[in-house]
Amino acid sequence: MDYQHEQHTVHLIVYHIIWCPKRRRHLLQGKLAERLEQLVREVAQENAWEVLRLAIQPDHVHLFIRTNPYTLPTDIARKIKGRSSHVRRRGISAVAQTAFLVDTQYLLQHGGQRQCRNHTELYREAEQDMSRKPKGLQNTLQVRLYPTPLQGHLLMAHCQEYIGTVNVLSSALDADVIPHDDTFSTKDFVASLPSCVKNQALRDARSVFKRSLELDCLPVLKKPICQWNNQNWQISHGTLTLPVCLDGKTQQIQIACADVALEGLPGILRIKKKRGKWIADLTMTIPAPKPVEQDGVMGIDLGIKVPAVAYVVGAGSRFFGNGRYQRQMRRRFYARRKKLQKAKKARAVKKSQGKETRWMKDINHKLSRQIVNHAHQQGVGTIKIETLQGIRKGTTSTSRGASARKNNRMKNSWSFSQLTAFITYKAERLGIKVEQVDPAYTSQECPACSTRNKAADRTYVCAECGWIGHRDMVGAINISRRAGLSGERRGAVGA
Ligand SMILES: [Zn+2]
């Protein structure tokens, strides 16, 4: 953010305003939220203020606004509040009218002044941060929780508060209104969470912000979750003990849960509600296995006709999975869903979707197990696999045509990212390294002379040197020869 120069003054004034409906009701959703956003922007425009960031949560609103020295901070709140409750009383819906904004409380915070730092600097920090991951392999264990109804409410409140806090902090970081370093700590913001959870929220907000630099937009988290770090929770004999914020005080509570045996060092605990059930994700770190003393290299090509082709340098190739069967099954799932959709059986459609997802996951587990076992037997020390990065970003400049087509295929078909993830973790547990390579043109290049040909038939014939081989092998052979991409990021934590 730059200072604004006027005839006699130079200024940079940012306010952070938070306000909420009476008794913090969860009203600001759907149309109401849209209308409110519109109003805030209207008021800001009329007064020549700049809305830096506006985050409307169901029960509160955060506004970062840049104004001038001639505006009283109370005036900002008054004007916005006045307008919105005025309109509310005359319009929208009766439910909203009674409770909303008739008497809002508002809180003002000084945004403070801060010059925008160089973003490349932040990039470097982000990279450093990522490399400081704990050593060893991460293993996530899902545990079903059985909270009492009261505990359930408490957990939900924590989850919503947590996500709200992360969103607010990350937008504050993005608007440069709070410092990016350690001078900003849990003491500097308010949230009804235990301090260790606040700390975790701050950490998450920082990582969300860092990720926003890569994504080029600030993600707003929606799913309510709450996280505790390793020093604060314990699980034993079907009881999970963790600190929560109750009546403004931090207290330990005990929640009944499934009895599980833990392996490795406990890490972050994440609690969420999934289809009406409370689930705890426990991240465990298992000690890294010794790298295998095998130097074979394997390339894996993923596809539709043959789900996976593995080529071991010097030992030949092997096909995994049955593409025809998988396609047939998926067509069947699709046809069934269509039928249900016509019959307007929405619940059944969802159920069928879940069924297909689980079926696909099962196949991916089996395929990856077979592939990794094969690799282990063949003395493979490095598995090379095509990278699935950049799919969401669309085409990359390095590989336009080929990757676009491949992306399309990836999107509409098998969950290759899941298969890749399964192969990766299974291999790493055996000490086999997994490298990602750029898949551009791997299915076209001749393994002997690198000319690009298009296979017209099941057999690939090189027009240049006459190399002949099975079409599906070509990709795997080429992948096994490509150099691994540097700076790869695996296991990015997305909340
Ligand atoms: Zn050739």
Q: What is the pLDDT of residues 321-373, one digit of tens each?
A: 998 898 888 889 889 999 999 998 888 998 888 898 899 999 999 999 999 99
CA 46 to ligand 1 centroid distance, Å: 68
**How many A from CA of 448 to the centre of ligand 1?**
5
Where is average pLDDT lowest: 261-270, 276-285, 339-348? Answer: 261-270
Average pLDDT over residues 472-482: 88
Query: Ligand 1 centre and the CA of 475: distance in Å?
Result: 14
CA distance 282 to 279: 10
Query: Which pLDDT does position 413 carry in this prediction?
Result: 61
Of residues 128 and 147, more confidence is placed in 147
Q: Give the distance (Å) from ligand 1 centre to CA of residue 452.
A: 8
How far away, in angstroms, is 459 Cα from ligand 1 center? Answer: 13
The pLDDT assigned to 342 comes to 92
pTM of the model: 0.55
- Residue 276 in this model has a pLDDT that exceeds 80: yes
Nearest-angstrom CA–CA distance, 333 and 353 = 8
> Which tops the pLDDT comparison, 217 or 420?
420
Q: In 3D, which of 186, 187, 193, 165 has the Cα closest to residue 250? A: 193
Angle at 34 between CA 32 and CA 40, to 5 degrees: 100
Nearest-10 Cα torsion for 360, 365, 367, 371: 160
- What is the number of residues in the chain? 495
Domains and CATH numbers, the chain: 4-113 (3.30.70.1290), 117-286 (no CATH), 296-481 (3.30.420)
Question: Is residue 390's pLDDT more than 70?
Answer: no
| Banded pLDDT at 278 (limits 50, 70, 90) | very high
pLDDT-based confidence at 215, cuts 50/70/90? low
Predicted confidence at residue 178, as pLDDT, reads 77
Task: State mean pLDDT over 32-39.
Answer: 82
Q: Is the pLDDT of residue 94 over 70?
A: no
Q: Tell me how far the alpha carbon of residue 453 lies from the centroid of ligand 1, in angstroms.
A: 8
Q: Distance, CA 388 to ligand 1 centroid (Å)?
A: 27
pLDDT band at 393 (very low <50, low <70, confident <90, very high): very low
For residue 241, report the distance from its CA to the centre of ligand 1, in Å. 64
| Region at 418 (left for phi over 0; alpha for psi -120 to 50; beta for the rest) | alpha
Mean pLDDT calculated for residue range 147-162: 87
Q: What angle do CA 74, 79, 84 make, to 5 degrees?
A: 130
Per residue in 295-316, pLDDT (tens digit) is 889 999 888 788 899 999 888 8
More confident residue, 83 or 135: 83
Give the angle 20-23-24 at the CA atoms, nearest 5°. 45
State the Cα–Cα distance between residues 18 and 278, nearest whole angstrom.
30
Please report the pLDDT score of residue 369 as a whole number: 93
What separation in Å is there between the alpha carbon of 474 and the centre of ligand 1?
11
CA of 468 relative to ligand 1 center, distance in Å: 9
**Beta-sheet strand order (sheet of 296-302):** 316-320, 308-312, 296-302, 380-386, 433-437
Is residue 126 scored above 70 in pLDDT?
Answer: no
Can you tell me the distance from the alpha carbon of 416 to that of 414, in angstroms, rounded to the nearest whole number? 6
- 445 C-alpha vs ligand 1 centroid, how far in Å? 8
| 478 Cα–ligand 1 center, Å | 12
- Beta strand 308-312 with 137-146: parallel, antiparallel or unpaired? unpaired
Which residues on adjacent β-strands are paired with residue 105? Answer: 20
Q: Is the pLDDT of residue 408 over 60?
A: no
pLDDT digits (tens, 9 = 90+) for 225-250: 888 887 788 888 888 888 888 877 88
Which pLDDT score, from 0 to 100, does residue 423 have? Answer: 92
Average pLDDT on 394-405 reads 47
Neighbours of 477 (CB within 10 A): 21
Buried-exposed string 430-455: b where 16+ CB fall within 10 A, e elsewhere = eebbbbbbbbbebbbbbbeeeeebeb
64 or 375, higher pLDDT: 375
Amino acid 217: pLDDT: 67
Query: What pLDDT digit, counting tens, does each position of 481-495 carry?
Result: 888 776 444 433 332
For ligand 1, the distance from its centroid to the CA atom of residue 225, given in whole angstroms, is 54
Q: Which of 13-17, 23-27, 115-119, 202-206 has the highest mean pLDDT?
A: 202-206
What rounded mean pLDDT belongs to the chain?
Answer: 76
